[in-house]
Amino acid sequence: MPDIQLEPSWLTPLQAEFDKAYMHKLRAFLSAEKQAGKPILPKSSEWFNALNSTPFELVKVVILGQDPYPTPGHAHGLSFSVLPDVKPLPKSLLNINKELLADLKVDNSRCGYLLPWAKQGVLLLNAVLTVEANQSNSHQKHGWEQFTDAIIHQLNQHRSNLVFILWGAYAQKKGAFIDRDRHLVIQSPHPSPLSAHRGFFGSRPFSQTNAYLTQHKITPINWSLDKP
């Protein structure tokens, strides 16, 4: 694992995690994978891109994903997001854009680069922050899950009136401990083509999020993306 470069506001809540045994094992695993010549996605400078794009005290919304896109050139450290030149968009992202259009009449159909959301306070966090190229879920159960659990715990305990968007059973299990009295939790099936028609479409997560933020006198999210 490269030297940790974290946005300063995350250092205090997370510093202790980097000294724990699981993190040392994760470092060793990633180092061995790299030495074996296995391509790791995204590039190492983007492993903590979600945290570095959305400071701790500015988080308003958390959208929890599973692991990075395994297709080279897609992942850049933000859950569900792809780099600006990626075409066609991944199918789950296309379905997210379809629901956004139906929900708020916002048309992002040709854009999948979600950094503008992150800059407004949407933490686009994957449960696992790396993957071997072309091998989905290949870095699961090596320690990343414990680290991202710590992120969610810190937000749950030390922030108020956040919105946690949990799409699919994996995200819902990971977020089961979130305090529903302190935060809004929005749950639905995953936007994957395999499950989107079982309740993701029509779930209106974007308008629900903005209504809750507005109710708590927090500036809502502008979900529209500037076309790159």
List residues with catalytic annotation. 67
Q: Kindly list the distances between the CA atom of residue 89 and the CA atoms of 80, 85, 109, 176, in Å, as whole numbers in the listed order.
A: 10, 10, 9, 30
Reported as half-sphere exposure (CB side, CA atoms, 13 A), residue 6 has a value of 15
Give the helix/strand (H/E) hosting 167. Answer: strand 163-167
Nearest Cα to Cα of residue 141 among 38, 22, 18, 17? 22
CB-CB contact of 151 with 51 (8 Å): yes
Taking every pair of C-alpha atoms in the chain, what is the biggest distance, in angstroms?
A: 52
